Amino acid sequence: MKLMSAKATEQSENREWGVGNGESGVESRAGDSAPLPTPDSPLAAPHLPEKPLVSIRAGSKWAAIDLKSLWAYRELLYFLTWRDVKVRYKQTALGAAWAVIQPLFTMIIFSIFFGKLANMPSDGIPYPLFAYAGLLPWTFFSNAVTNSGNSLVGSSNLITKVYFPRMIIPGAAVAAGLVDLLIAFGILIILMIYYGVGAAWSLLALPLLVTLTTLLAIGIGMWTSALNVKYRDIRYALPFAIQLLMFATPIIYPVSIVPARWRWLLNINPLTGIIEGYRSAFFGRAFNWPMLAVSAAITLALLIYAAYYFKRMERTFADIV
């Protein structure tokens, strides 16, 4: 009797827990908890797609320039430019006066040796004014190329820690030089007043010429900065190359002194048309549009090549800088 009573009690408990009648046995007593979620239940894990929605991979070596990304980081360009300006004149006794001293004293030396002693022609313009009008854009260009060429190596800590478009670094180095160009332009105004040379409507072309000079400096600066990361010889070769380029540019002498049959060789230098354009804008002379067009075409070609070369090398900067 006791054995039958114990067996009946066990069967009753099994029926309550769902054991023995084909049920899973996992479900608890009615009202205690909800059943486990099924694959079709909203509580089940989400179904993942077979292909990823977002793929992160290295860009092509010859990928197009991401202008959208450069625009998104435009504030970083401003802050890096302002940083370069402050660092340049930090703890200096003369400060921003160095932007004037370099072209001014170079003009004085040129005026003594080439203007007075060598009697270098200057196309009817007083030689100090003629020389300074050429030294003004040249000083900006040479300093911008030198600083941008060394900018990536000098910003190695920033490159290896934070992602941003690397083109901003040489671009900021060039943009910082525009402040010096603006300051040095004041000396040219003083010289024009001293020599009685009035302003002309051709000065309206000055923003175009400054833009063209800036683009040329950015193009060469990007190219040399990418080369400098891999080949540190660029640090020593660049100042020497810029010094040689000065004598191949009509700064000391006018273009008219070069024989006509060799003038095409001088026009290959894009700075030739640009600096002659500055003199035409300052002194109200007629522009040599064919020469200026050749300079603009070469500048654009150099800028495009430098941008694509920089983009190709960009993926290796953090590893070897």
pLDDT at res. 20: 45
In a domain, 43, yes or no: no
In a domain, 32, yes or no: no
> First CA to last CA across the chain, in angstroms?
92
Q: Give every residue of the chain whose pLDDT is below 50, as ranges.
A: 1-8, 13-31, 56, 58
CB neighbourhood size of 154 (10 A): 17
- pTM here is 0.78
Answer whether 225's CB lies under 8 Å from 169's CB. Answer: yes
pLDDT at res. 31: 46
Q: How far apart, in whole angstroms, are the C-alpha atoms of residue 314 and residue 270?
A: 27
Among 204, 210, 212, smallest CA distance to 281 is for 204
How many structural domains are present in the chain?
1
In a domain, 160, yes or no: yes
In a domain, 6, yes or no: no
Q: How far apart, in whole angstroms, are the C-alpha atoms of residue 202 and residue 286?
A: 9
The size of the chain, in residues, is: 321
In a domain, 22, yes or no: no
In a domain, 244, yes or no: yes
| Residue whose tokens read 């525009």 | 178
Q: How far apart, in whole angstroms, are the C-alpha atoms of residue 288 and residue 250?
A: 14
In a domain, 39, yes or no: no
Give buried/exposed letters for 169-187 (b at 16+ CB in 10 A, else e). Answer: bbbbbbbbbbbbbeebbeb
SS3 of 53-110: the string is CCCCCCCCCCCCCCHHHHHHCHHHHHHHHHHHHHHHCCCCCCHHHHHHHHHHHHHHHH
The number of helices, as runs of H, and strands, as runs of E, in the chain is 14, 0
By the 10 Å C-beta count (0-12 exposed, 13-18 middle, 19+ buried), 211 is classed as exposed
Q: How far apart, in whole angstroms, are the C-alpha atoms of residue 101 and residue 138?
A: 14
CB neighbourhood size of 203 (10 A): 12
What residue type is 239 in one-letter code? P
By the 10 Å C-beta count (0-12 exposed, 13-18 middle, 19+ buried), 99 is classed as buried
- Give 96-150 pLDDT, tens digit per residue: 788 889 999 999 999 999 999 999 999 889 999 999 999 999 999 999 999 999 9
pLDDT at res. 287: 92
- Give 197-230 pLDDT, tens digit per residue: 888 888 999 999 999 999 999 999 999 999 998 8
In a domain, 35, yes or no: no
What residue type is 202 in one-letter code? S
Which tokens sit at 71? Answer: 């625009």
| Residue whose tokens read 């020599």 | 195
Domain assignment of residue 250, given as a range? 92-320
Among 58, 83, 88, 235, smallest CA distance to 163 is for 58
What angle is formed at CA 130 by the lines to CA 128 and CA 134, rounded to 5 degrees?
110
DSSP 116: I
